[in-house]
């Protein structure tokens, strides 16, 4: 690879291609390239004798195996990723000189890793938690990482408290329980004693913490960044991702069951949809505040426990991200990818947000231990697509073979190169913000209101969302053992809403708050999932059916559902095929044993002429569970007859109709509605 163009000036896909190896059809060798004649038996002195030290193949194979694991991420350990592209809608030159935000005809390759925060690498995916949404843009000016979450605020205001919140929310150290859950004493003790976490805790108790899919979450850069244009003018900016499919969630009972039925639920959903060509899309949005307007708002724009209400500072959609390729190897790509909010390009800069400042230290530091040294930028998934040159040398796992004698600046032997680039040549210059102040460890007065936006969030929720928040507090605090912590939380959240605190106080056996309440009456409709996009696309429908179904009608209905983007899957008693009354054959995708109601968005029940007791019991449980999770239910033919005799038949979002076209239209509408909260359960 002497020609630098080969590795540094080719597309990201071609670059990754250089490292792809397909072992299929090849002879087995050692890592030194030696072909081996035997791979099943170690070298022994006699068939039943001791294994010999000289067995280099055994030693190499087992040693490599012994070292296969690297430390998991200290947070965000459980993650899944995909490749894609980003394209800006129109030039953003008024606000930023970032090149990848200038040309609407150019695409930038990206790599996106979604994650949970608290659980270990093997933990279940549908737990109540924040989700990470980290994007690496491989731009021609270098790598830009937008390391975001699916909630717009954070637990703490200053980076120095990050170890505290993480220690508190992780499993408790004496018994390492509970896994991937905030429902335990130390988390809630932290909240009660660090009241800046009130707003984030409201988000964590809301439906946002149990997303239906990575494809149906918003992303938020959380911290306030800066855009800088080529004239040197600066703007405050917050980044958003808006999913094309809208923001949708699971219900808590369902989320807990999925953790057992399919702990890989979110990665499977992402993987399968990309494999099928249902490429997930997100629009990049920005909220921009003029440099002069820094102090115009009733919150501090540098405080990461505050959001900028969209009704006050609108989100402008500036481009689109499409995820279109699964990884080849989870370890090489998803596990080894190294994000860092400090990976920026000219036109994007930082602010004094003290949480962001803490992050700027932490991310490189963590890669040093996790990826074993300072050369992690050379790992294929982390390499920029533009050339990189400097005098950094050596270290563990160095791959670049730097030629020549000179590795210092300034020099005369190499003509004083590599030399810094001027601004005109694309050199990065930090925004020259004027700062002065006394050295001090303190919180700004403007950061001290911890409750107003927590109340704003509460006020913005629909009736169903409020109910879920109360249930989440009741569940989590119901798991807390310390009566004192429970009471502290009740008293604390009385400052957010008396209605909220009083209701969950009762269910957790605490004393109802006597005082409190908030005078904040504002709400922000953009915060409610009730106001999100509602589409049927890619929704999974369980079709419960057995032999003797009406062939022509079912063929029409299933084909029509597929045309709307809905994904029907057939569930019956046994795998193989089932037959309709006219001989139509249907392949069975799952049995009642291999799948479960919680893994689908909707149920369509047909039954058939040959149902038995067992089928009726399994189908009944399946439909009942979907009903109790407020999911759309459709029924035709024998299924309709059966559901009509049950109370569920009268429920909202239940479509009973034997006219195929009308059924499809109504059922698809119900599917787009996602959940039918009006059901009285
Ligand atoms: Fe992170 N965070 N973080 N974080 N974070 C990490 O870096 C940290 C914060 C976020 O898929 C770590 O490579 C500090 C906010 C995501 O690989 C670590 C503070 C937001 C990911 C780290 C924060 C995030 C991380 C662990 C407070 C939302 C996963 C492994 C000052 C905007 C990236 C790693 C991936 C990962 C530190 C707060 C998002 C330890 C010190 C706020 C999505 O460096």
Express each pLDDT in 79-121 by its tens digit: 999 999 999 999 999 999 999 999 999 999 999 999 999 999 9
The pLDDT of residue 610: 83
| Å from CA of 339 to ligand 1 middle | 8
In ligand 1, the atom with minimum distance to the C-alpha of 221 is: 32
Which residue among 362, 371, 381 is best mutated to probe the pocket of ligand 1, counting the most ligand atoms within 8 A of its Cβ?
Answer: 362
CA 517-521-525 angle, to 5 degrees, is: 125
Helices (H), 194-237: 198-204
Q: What confidence category does residue 22 fall into, taking pLDDT thresholds of 50, 70 and 90?
A: very high
Residue 63 phi/psi, 5-degree rounding, is -60, -45
| Å from CA of 534 to ligand 1 middle | 31
CATH tag for 534-672 (out of 3.20.190.10, 3.40.50.2300, 1.10.3720.10, 3.40.50.880): 3.40.50.880
Mean pLDDT of 510-537: 96
Give Cα 109 to chain centroid, integer Å.
19
In ligand 1, the atom with minimum distance to the C-alpha of 363 is: 44
Cβ neighbour number for residue 370 with a 10 Å cutoff: 16
Task: Check pLDDT > 70 for residue 386.
Answer: yes
CB-based pocket (< 6 A), ligand 1: 73-76, 79, 113, 115, 132, 134, 147-149, 154, 159, 162, 221-222, 304, 337-339, 355, 358-359, 362-363, 366
Q: What confidence category does residue 2 fall into, taking pLDDT thresholds of 50, 70 and 90?
A: very low
8 Å CB contact between 597 and 622: yes
Helices (H), 494-605: 498-507, 551-563
8 Å CB contact between 119 and 128: no
User: In the structure encoding, which two tokens stand for residue 378, read together?
Assistant: 């050379």
8 Å CB contact between 234 and 227: yes
Which residue among 117, 119, 130, 132 is best mutated to probe the pocket of ligand 1, counting the most ligand atoms within 8 A of its Cβ?
Answer: 132
The pLDDT of residue 4: 54
| Å from CA of 277 to ligand 1 middle | 30
User: In the structure encoding, which two tokens stand for residue 272, read together?
Assistant: 């399968």
Task: Check pLDDT > 90 for residue 496.
Answer: yes
Task: Check pLDDT > 50 for residue 1.
Answer: no
The pLDDT of residue 609: 87
Task: Check pLDDT > 80 for residue 207.
Answer: yes
| Å from CA of 441 to ligand 1 middle | 23
| Å from CA of 363 to ligand 1 middle | 7
% the chain with pLDDT above 70: 99
Asked: is 79-159+210-378 a CATH 3.30.450.80 domain? The reply is no
Mean pLDDT of 167-184: 98
Within 170-243, strands assigned E span 219-220, 225-228, 234-243
The pLDDT of residue 10: 85
Give the active site residues. 76, 149
The pLDDT of residue 657: 97
Within 479-607, strands assigned E span 540-545, 567-572, 576-579, 585-588, 590-591, 602-607
Tallying the residues shown for the chain, one arrives at: 681
Q: Which residue is closest in CA terms to ligand 1's atom 19?
A: 359
Q: What is the largest CA-CA distance in the chain?
A: 91
In ligand 1, the atom with minimum distance to the C-alpha of 75 is: 26
Which residue among 71, 72, 74, 76 is best mutated to probe the pocket of ligand 1, counting the most ligand atoms within 8 A of its Cβ?
Answer: 76
Whole-model pTM over 0.85: yes
**Which residue has 């890592």 as its token pair?**
31
Task: Check pLDDT > 70 for residue 38.
Answer: yes
Q: What confidence category does residue 681 fall into, taking pLDDT thresholds of 50, 70 and 90?
A: low
Q: Domains of the chain: which residue ranges? A: 3-66, 79-159+210-378, 534-672
Report how far residue 167's alpha carbon sits from residue 164's, in angstroms, rounded to the nearest whole number: 5
User: In the structure encoding, which two tokens stand for residue 244, read together?
Assistant: 């094309």
Lowest mean pLDDT among 213-217, 487-491, 608-612: 608-612
The pLDDT of residue 3: 52
Mean pLDDT of 320-335: 98
In ligand 1, the atom with minimum distance to the C-alpha of 79 is: 11
Closest-CA residue to 478 (of 118, 183, 171, 177): 183
In ligand 1, the atom with minimum distance to the C-alpha of 361 is: 41
8 Å CB contact between 494 and 513: yes
8 Å CB contact between 106 and 123: no
pLDDT in tens, 452-493: 999 999 999 999 999 999 999 999 999 999 999 999 999 999
State the fold for domain 3-66: Cytochrome C Oxidase; Chain J (4.10.91)
User: In the structure encoding, which two tokens stand for residue 413, read together?
Assistant: 């032997």
| Å from CA of 74 to ligand 1 middle | 9
Mean pLDDT of 258-265: 98
Cβ neighbour number for residue 199 with a 10 Å cutoff: 30
């Amino acid at each position: 690879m002497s020609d630098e163009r080969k590795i540094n000036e080719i597309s990201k896909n071609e670059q990754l291609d250089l490292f792809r190896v397909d072992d299929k059809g090849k002879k087995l060798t050692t890592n030194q390239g030696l072909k081996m004649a035997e791979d099943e038996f170690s070298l022994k002195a006699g068939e039943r004798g001791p294994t010999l030290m000289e067995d280099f193949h055994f030693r190499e194979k087992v040693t490599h195996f012994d070292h296969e694991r690297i430390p998991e991420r200290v947070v965000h350990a459980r993650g899944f990723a995909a490749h894609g592209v980003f394209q800006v809608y129109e030039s953003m030159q008024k606000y930023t000189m970032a090149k990848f935000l200038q040309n609407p005809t150019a695409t930038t390759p990206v790599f996106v890793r979604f994650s949970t925060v608290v659980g270990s690498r093997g933990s279940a995916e549908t737990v109540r938690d924040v989700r990470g949404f980290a994007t690496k843009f491989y731009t021609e000016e270098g790598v830009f990482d937008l390391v975001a979450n699916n909630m717009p605020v954070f637990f703490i205001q200053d980076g120095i408290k990050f170890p505290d919140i993480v220690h508190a929310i992780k499993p408790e150290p004496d018994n390492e329980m509970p896994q991937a859950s905030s429902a335990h004493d130390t988390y809630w003790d932290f909240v009660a004693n660090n009241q800046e976490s009130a707003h984030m805790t409201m988000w964590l108790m809301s439906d946002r913490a149990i997303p239906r899919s990575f494809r149906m979450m918003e992303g938020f850069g959380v911290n306030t960044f800066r855009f800088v244009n080529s004239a040197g003018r600066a703007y405050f900016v917050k980044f958003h991702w808006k999913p094309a499919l809208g923001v949708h969630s699971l219900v808590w009972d369902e989320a807990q069951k999925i953790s057992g039925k399919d702990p890989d639920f979110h990665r499977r959903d992402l993987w399968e949809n990309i494999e099928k060509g249902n490429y997930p899309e997100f629009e990049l949005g920005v909220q921009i505040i003029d440099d002069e307007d820094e102090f115009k708002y009733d919150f501090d724009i540098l405080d990461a426990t505050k959001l900028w209400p969209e009704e006050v500072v609108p989100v402008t959609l500036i481009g689109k991200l499409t995820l279109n390729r699964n990884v080849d190897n989870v370890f090489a790509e998803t596990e080894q990818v190294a994000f860092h909010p400090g990976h920026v390009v000219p036109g994007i800069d930082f602010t004094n947000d003290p949480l962001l400042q803490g992050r700027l230290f932490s991310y490189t530091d963590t890669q040093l231990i996790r990826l074993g040294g300072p050369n992690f930028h050379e790992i294929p998934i982390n390499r920029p697509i533009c050339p990189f040159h400097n005098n950094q040398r050596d270290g563990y796992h160095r791959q670049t073979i730097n030629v020549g004698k000179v590795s210092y600046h300034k020099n005369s032997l190499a003509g004083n190169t590599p030399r810094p680039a001027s601004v005109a040549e694309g050199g990065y210059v930090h925004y020259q913000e004027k700062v002065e102040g006394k050295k001090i460890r303190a919180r700004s007065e403007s950061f001290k209101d911890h409750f107003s936006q927590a109340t704003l969030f509460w006020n913005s929720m629909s009736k169903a969302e409020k109910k879920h928040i109360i249930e989440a507090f009741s569940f989590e605090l119901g798991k807390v053992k310390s009566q004192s912590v429970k009471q502290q939380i009740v008293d604390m959240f009385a400052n957010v809403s008396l209605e909220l605190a009083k209701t969950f106080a009762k269910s957790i056996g605490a004393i109802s708050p006597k005082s409190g309440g908030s005078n904040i009456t504002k709400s922000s409709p953009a915060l409610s999932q009730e106001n999100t996009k509602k589409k049927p696309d890619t929704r999974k429908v369980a079709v419960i059916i057995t032999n003797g179904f009406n062939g022509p009608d079912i063929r029409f209905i299933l084909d029509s559902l597929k045309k709307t983007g809905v994904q029907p899957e057939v569930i019956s008693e046994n795998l193989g095929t089932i037959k309709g009354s006219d001989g139509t054959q249907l392949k069975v995708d799952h049995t009642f044993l291999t799948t479960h109601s919680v893994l689908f968005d909707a149920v369509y029940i047909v039954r058939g002429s040959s149902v038995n007791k067992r089928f009726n019991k399994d189908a009944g449980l399946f439909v009942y569970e979907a009903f109790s999770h407020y999911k759309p239910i459709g029924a035709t033919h024998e299924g309709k007859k059966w559901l009509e005799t049950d109370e569920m038949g009268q429920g909202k979002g239940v479509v009973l109709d034997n006219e195929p076209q009308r059924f499809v239209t109504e059922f698809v509408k119900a599917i787009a509605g996602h959940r039918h909260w009006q059901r009285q359960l």
